[in-house]
Structures are given as C-alpha cells and as structure tokens.
Amino acid sequence: MDKHMGPAGNELPYQYIKDSTDLKCISEIFSKTKIIGVDLESDSMFHYKEKVCLMQISIPGTNILVDTLSVNDMEPLLPIFSDRAIRKIFHGADYDIRCLSRDFGIEVNSLFDTQIAARFLGMPQTGLSSCIESLFGISMEKKYQKKDWSIRPLPEEMLQYAVKDTYYLLPFAEKLETELEAKGRLSWVEEECELLSKVRSSPAGTDPLYLKFKGASKLDPRSLAVLDEILKWRDASAVKRDVPPFKILGNHQVLELVDKKPASLEELTCLSTKQVNRFGRSILDAIIVALSIPESELPAFRKEKRSRQSAIVTKKIDVLKEWRERLGKQLEIDSSIICPNSLIRSIATMDTCTAEGLDGLAEIRKWQVNLFGEDVCTLMNSIKTDPADAGSDK
C-alpha cells in the first residue's frame, strides 16, 4: 500500500491500493464508517470494451485510490457497498452504478447522489466542478476527465484530480442534505436514489447496430442497408484495433457515406487521407455488398406505431404542462423534475384521475403522489369532455 502525504498547497494525501491483500485490509476500515464518497475513472474514450480503471473512495480523514487494473479481487468491497448502514455518496451515479455491477458484481445500497440532490434544490449548475467551486471556492481541473485512465503508471497530477473528486463529496453531501431536510425534500431525493441504485447495463444483444444510430429511422431501405454494412465493418474494425468505433469513423462521416454511396477512392471526400489509405477499400467493399442486396431482402427500420391522440388528451397535456411550469417556479426547481413528459402523458390518458389510478402508474413516484396527486386529480377531472373531442387514443 503506497501512502502519499501530499505537500502543502492544494494536494491531498491518499493511499494507493494495488493488490488484493491491501484492499482487504482497507475494507475493514470502510466497514466501520457510516459514509463513503465514491467515484470511478474508466477508459471508454480509448478502448472498444470499456472498463473501470480506478476507484476513488473517501471517508472522513482518509482518501483511498484503488487500482482496479492491478487488484484482481474486488470481493472485499461487495459487503461494503451492499451495507445499508453505510451511505454511499456519488455524483451523477447512473454510469458508475452500471459499471460497478458490470465489472465487479457490486450492488450499491443506501445511495445518495449529490447531482440529483442539487437538481432538487434548484442549483443552476449541477456539474461537480461547478458545485465545488461555488460552495468551497476550490477550482477543479477538468482536463483529466477525458484522459486515458488505463495508462500505467498514472501521473501524480491525474491521481490528485481523482482524489479531489471524492474528497469534497462528503462535505458537499452534508450541506445538500441539510438544505433538503429544511425544504422537506430529502425523502424525494432518497426515493430517486433508491430507484437509481437498481439500474444495470443491458447485455450485448444481437439487434442490428443501426437501431441505435441517430437518423437511421429516416433512411430508405437501400440507404439503411448501406448504413448496416458500414456499421458492421466499423464495429469489427474497432474490435480489431481495440478502440471505440467513433475513432474509426465519426457518425457524421458514416451518414455522408450512406448519403453519397461513393464508388471509388476519389469519392471518399468525407474521409481524411489517412482514413482513405487505411480503410478506403474496405468501406467501398461494404457499400458494394449493401448495393447488391435484393430489394426483397433489404432491412426495414422497426417503427413503433403511435396512436392518434384525441383532442381531450391534447388539452389535458397542455393544462398539465402549464400547471407544471407554475409549480416549478413556486418550488424554484426545474419543472421537468416535478413531472416528466412521460408521466404527463400517462396522467392525461386516464379516463378519470384518482389516487388509486395514480398509484398504479409505472412512472410515478411516491413523493410525486404526496406532493401533487390530489391537486392533479382535481385539475384533470375539472376538464369537461366535449363529444366533438372524442377520438382514439389507444
């Protein structure tokens, strides 16, 4: 276990864990605390299959950096993260929760996400750097956010950046919790955090890559076939070179290739000279394959059929959005947090709004029912249905 005391100035002391034995020892210290601040650094910008490269954990008086590329057994941390008696402080936890489960089988209980808390307090800027600078007058270096955290050894300046990400989480969370309690919103955040702690990464599927490509749904079948072949080629090339697909070809380049369907190297004008020399012939081959597919075998983008929305539902949605804006201003928070569009539509499509009906909606939270359930039902049921407004909304 390497101990770094940090000289005077802005540098912070930390312990650097590089093997399983040291991790087991330090986990015993974690088990005796009531709160830990956590952050992760990964290499998603530099490798095809991303992985967690560094885990930062701060407890009162101690900062720990765990080299997850060197420690071959993260099992000692599993009971720490699952223990509901230990509060885990994250900032923008969605990605980290998914990574912890995917890479280490770690499940997080008793989560407190400071970004969610900041949003529920109406803070204008909710990025960690902005919050820390605003509250503590500490300037956080941002240039290391997109660095390759899989490199070894990690420079001291990157390690210091990592330590600061969790060191300030603890006092930040304490301040936020105090303000949330004063406004009666702590339970709102805790419910949101409980739901967030259950998110997981979707397993790799066999669906065509174009289904998640922005703009694919607007393409004709032949262009969609070209897109499909280029994306399959790009993905295979990325795997071979162990880089993210966007480092082979950018999405804007892919779309231009699909639109122009070049037939020669000279027509690959959207590519750099280096890309043409390295990939040009392979890209042209992929396009040729797509253009040779028989009409009857061309792919079709699966589009969800949207039902025609009745006039009464449209009216209810408009009324709900106006009500939401008023409540957002009253509470001084983003109105979309109070009642997202998906929930607005679900409420608007109810024939009669009741407390029981609201409770049965998948999108609604308990705090929302308590906050505005009765008012919303009164509002919705006051809207009279005109026979001329009747229409299909199923």
Q: What is the average pLDDT across 312-341?
A: 96
Give the model's confidence band at 177: pLDDT under 50 very low, under 70 low, under 90 confident, else very high. very high
pLDDT at residue 319 tops 70: yes
pLDDT at residue 171 tops 80: yes
* CA–CA gap between residue 114 and residue 140 (Å, rounded): 16
201 vs 247, which has greater pLDDT?
Answer: 247
Question: Are 47 and 175 contained in the same domain?
Answer: yes
- Is 233 inside any structural domain? yes
pLDDT at residue 133 tops 80: yes
Q: What is the mean pLDDT of the chain?
A: 92
Tell me, what's the pLDDT at 74?
96
Tell me, what's the pLDDT at 145?
83
Backbone angles phi, psi at 16, to 5 degrees: -105, 115
Question: Are 190 and 86 contained in the same domain?
Answer: yes
Determine which of 46-50, 227-231, 383-387 has the lowest per-residue pLDDT on average. 383-387
Question: Are 190 and 49 contained in the same domain?
Answer: yes
Q: Which residues fall within 8 angstroms of residue 193, CB to CB, at 6 or more apart?
A: 93, 111, 112, 113, 116
Tell me, what's the pLDDT at 22?
95
Per-residue exposure over 149-179, b if at least 16 CB sit within 10 Å of its own CB, e if not: bbeeebeeebbbbbbbbbbbbbebbebbbeb
Tell me, what's the pLDDT at 135?
86
Give the model's confidence band at 97: pLDDT under 50 very low, under 70 low, under 90 confident, else very high. very high
Tell me, what's the pLDDT at 394?
46
CATH number (domain holding residue 273): 1.10.150.80
Q: What is the average pLDDT across 223-239?
A: 97
Question: Are 109 and 173 contained in the same domain?
Answer: yes
Tell me, what's the pLDDT at 261?
97
Question: Are 37 and 154 contained in the same domain?
Answer: yes
Question: Which among 393, 386, 225, 230 has a CA at the least distance from the CA of 299?
Answer: 225
* Count: domains in the chain: 3
pLDDT tens digits, residue range 140-166? 877 888 899 999 999 999 999 999 999
Q: What percent of the chain has pLDDT over 70?
A: 94
* CA–CA gap between residue 271 and residue 72 (Å, rounded): 41
- Is 304 inside any structural domain? no
Question: Are 350 and 373 contained in the same domain?
Answer: yes
- Is 201 inside any structural domain? no
Question: Are 191 and 213 contained in the same domain?
Answer: no
Domain boundary residue among 297, 324, 354?
297
Q: What is the average pLDDT across 298-315?
A: 81
Domain boundary residue among 297, 323, 342?
297
- Is 135 inside any structural domain? yes
Domain boundary residue among 297, 325, 355?
297
Give the model's confidence band at 376: pLDDT under 50 very low, under 70 low, under 90 confident, else very high. very high
Tell me, what's the pLDDT at 306?
64
Question: Are 17 and 137 contained in the same domain?
Answer: yes
- Is 170 inside any structural domain? yes
Q: Can you tell me which residue has the tokens 């802005």?
A: 10
Q: Can you tell me which residue has the tokens 């956590």?
A: 38
- Is 53 inside any structural domain? yes
Question: Are 113 and 236 contained in the same domain?
Answer: no
Tell me, what's the pLDDT at 7?
47
Question: Are 109 and 30 contained in the same domain?
Answer: yes
Question: Are 81 and 227 contained in the same domain?
Answer: no
Look at strands 2-4 and 52-59 and give their pairing: unpaired
- Is 305 inside any structural domain? no
Kindly report the length of the chain.
Answer: 394
Question: Are 151 and 21 contained in the same domain?
Answer: yes
Backbone angles phi, psi at 51, to 5 degrees: -150, 155
- Is 286 inside any structural domain? yes
Domain residues for the domain of 385 are 311-389
pLDDT tens digits, residue range 48-83? 999 999 999 999 999 999 999 999 999 999 999 999
pLDDT at residue 278 tops 60: yes
